[in-house]
Every structure is written in C-alpha cells, then in structure tokens.
Amino acid sequence: MNKRLQCVRCLYSVFHPLGLVLDDEGVCSGCRIHEEKDTLDWGVRWKKLEDLVSPYKVESGRTYDCIVPVTGGNDSHFIVHTVKNRLGLNPLLVTYNKYFNTALGIRNLANLRIKFNCDIVVQNVNPMAVRNITRTTLRELGSMYWPCIAGQTVFPVQTAVRYKVPLIIWGAHQGLEQVGMFSHEHEVEMTRRYRKDHDLMGKEADDLLSIFDTLSEDDVWQYRYPDDADLASVGVRGIYLGNYVRWDPKPQHEEMVRQFDYQGATFGRTFDTYDHVDCYNFMDVHDHIKYLKHGYAKVTDHACREIRHGRLTRDQALALVRFHEVQPMAHLDKFCEWLRVDARALAFIFNQHRNPKVWQEIGPGEWRRQPDCDFTQGDTPRSNDSGLLGFEAHDFLHMGGPCAYITVGKGYPL
C-alpha cells in the first residue's frame, strides 16, 4: 500500500472520482471536512435552516411549501421526517421510477407516503426509452445508472418549475460527505453544473443526442434540465439538509426503523442494510461496474463513513471491504433479461470499461490490480463480521415474492 496515494485515516485514495486531496499529515479532505461535524454548533446551524425555509411556508395551504425528492431507500424517511415533523413544512414528494424496483423499496415508499401523510408525484418514463438510453450509456460511458441518476436529479427540478414550488430540499451532499469538496459553512446549493460534471459524468441529455446516433429526441427529452429563465421565474433553489443537521445515516436510519417502521435488507456486497434497498442493481451490477471503473466499490464508501464516525477502526473497515468488494453479483440475470443482452456480451462491455490505472490484463479475460493502485491488498484477513455495528435486516429485497423487478408497484400492503 502506498501511503502517499491513500488517506491514513479512511480508505479513500487520490483516485476517488469526485477528486480528493491529502494534506501534509496524509489525511484526506473528506476526513478533514468530517471533523467539522464535531466542531460546528449544530444548534446555530438548525436555526439558520429554520430562518432559511420560513419565507417558503405557504400560509393559504393551497399549494406545497417545498419539494422533497424521495426513493424507497436511502435517507428518504429521515429527510421527510425532518422536513415535515421538525421544520413544519408541507412537502410534495417526488420520485423517479428506476424500473429496477425491489418489493422492499415499493413497500418502504408506500410506508413513507402513508406514515408522513404526503402527496407524491411519480415519474414513469417510457420504459423503451429508458432501455435505449441504458444500452447506450452502458456501452459508451460504462454507466448503467445514467438514466436513474439523471431522472432522480432532474425530475424534482422539473416538478418545482411545473408546480411553481421554488424550494427543493435534498439530504446530504455527496461531494461534501465523501471527499470534502465543500465545507458545511459554504452552505452549497444544487447546481446544474455539479449535476452535469459529477452526477452525470459530464453528459447532459442533449450531449447524449449529439454524441450517440443510437438515441433520438424522443428518448431523452424527459431528462432535460429546465432552462435558466424558467428556473429564475419560479426562483428555484435546492438546499442540502446535511449543511444544517449533523449528518450520520446509521443512527438516522435506526431512528426511522424505530419510529416509522423503515425496513432494511442484507446485501452480499456491503454490510450496510439500509442504504439502497429500493434497487436490485445499485448494490449489485452497478456496484460491480463501479469497482471495475474506479477500483473500489460502495462498501468502501460505507466503510469510510463508519471509520469517520468512530464506529470502525481502519483495520476492521479494511477487512469488511476486502470481503464484500469481491462478492459475486446476485442479480445479473435480471439485468441481462431486462436489457436483452446476454451475460457474455455484458462481461465484454464491463471489461472495456476497466480503468487501466487500476487493472492489468494478464491473460485473456484474466485481470489483476495494478500494484500502485491496490489499496485493499495486504495481510488484513477478509471478514464479513459487521455484527457489532448492529445494522439490522428486516426482510429480503423480494420480501418472499418473485425475485424480479417490480416495474410499477402497487403500494402497501403488497
């Protein structure tokens, strides 16, 4: 392991795709910004948030105070709880249908809508267009998740313009949380630019049209970000709760499990049971591709977060990462069927997107990590024992039903 390339405190390296720097002590920018969580006065910051949102409260009650993007996983219950119960706002929930839905995700989304008594708008883009785009972005960009991320990040903004509800409230900012791209005190807000550069790998919907002749106007128009004039006329802005609340997903999820019956599930490729339970692919096929492209998987994100919050030592985290990042995909067959591509063709595409900084081909179809870029090698034993952390699984992703994508969910009870 080369200490000059990897943080001495967490497991991130300078190859992190969002960009990360190490200081003179070898500590990364993400770990340094994390220190703010224990030095900032969160009471003062909460007051700032209350002051910020108060002009957006609609006294007449005839429309919504804000938009909250949600899914049947991640931090959605906590965000809606904070917005509705603590800030006293009346949110319109919006969700983009990824089509890779698990039964548990459908159940959690229904639970969210019912327990918090909120209206919800669901965007179902024509599935043929979604498949067309997925085939193209997977082949050309090595991304099967481009339409999911594009949809999740654009639909709330389109809804804000359409309903003339200017305030959008997101959870944590990934660039701040993972790599310390901003300080909490910058109070960074949603931008078109960050979405394009980082969420969408530099390609907006119209860029796909001009680059790839496999797509047409009909495929991509739903993913277009509203233009500046429309955004300005409504006064749309998107804020992040993580700038005002000491963000720590594990206890937040535990509170949501206790209070509102949020449910988690076990994954092969990580120890976190709460994060992406709405999707068969995020912690599976998509995560395998992330590993090939960037040399690390989502379990490293979870492990770094747990190190920073003081719940794992670096060695414990490394042992978990070493175990989980090499676990086989469990849901590849469903993705092949959905995309109408066979597994061998898909494996060929995956290999084309292996990062040469990370991987070396040592024989036909045989790959090994480049020595300079192998941060999870070493003597640490592999371990799947995260028991002491106390992540709970309440059900299976399929909840005992058929293990298949639920294209459009019925709600709850199923």
Under the rule (CB under 5 A), what is the footprint of Zn ion? 7, 9-10, 28, 31
SS3 state of residue 50: helix
Whose Cβ is closer to Zn ion: residue 8's or residue 347's? Answer: 8
At a CB cut-off of 8 Å and minimum separation 6, what does 384 contact?
271, 320, 323, 324
Burial class from Cβ neighbours inside 10 Å (0-12, 13-18, 19+) for residue 34 reads: buried
Angle, in degrees to the nearest 10, between helices 249-260 and 103-115: 70
Residues 6+ apart with CB under 8 A from 119: 64, 92, 93
**Contact assessment for residue 256 and residue 392, using Cβ atoms and an 8 Å cutoff:** no
Which of 27, 209 has the CB closer to Zn ion? Answer: 27
CB of 143 to Zn ion, least distance (A): 26
Q: Of 7 and 215, which CB lies nearer to Zn ion in the complex structure?
A: 7
- Nearest distance from C-beta of residue 305 to Zn ion, angstroms: 11
- Other CB atoms within 10 A of residue 214 CB: 14
**Residue closer to Zn ion, measured from CB, 12 or 145:** 12
Q: What minimum distance in Å lies between the beta carbon of 16 and Zn ion?
A: 10
Nearer to Zn ion, 314 or 382 (CB): 314
3-class secondary-structure state, position 17: coil
28 or 358, CB closer to Zn ion?
Answer: 28
> CB–CB of 307/9 below 8 Å?
yes
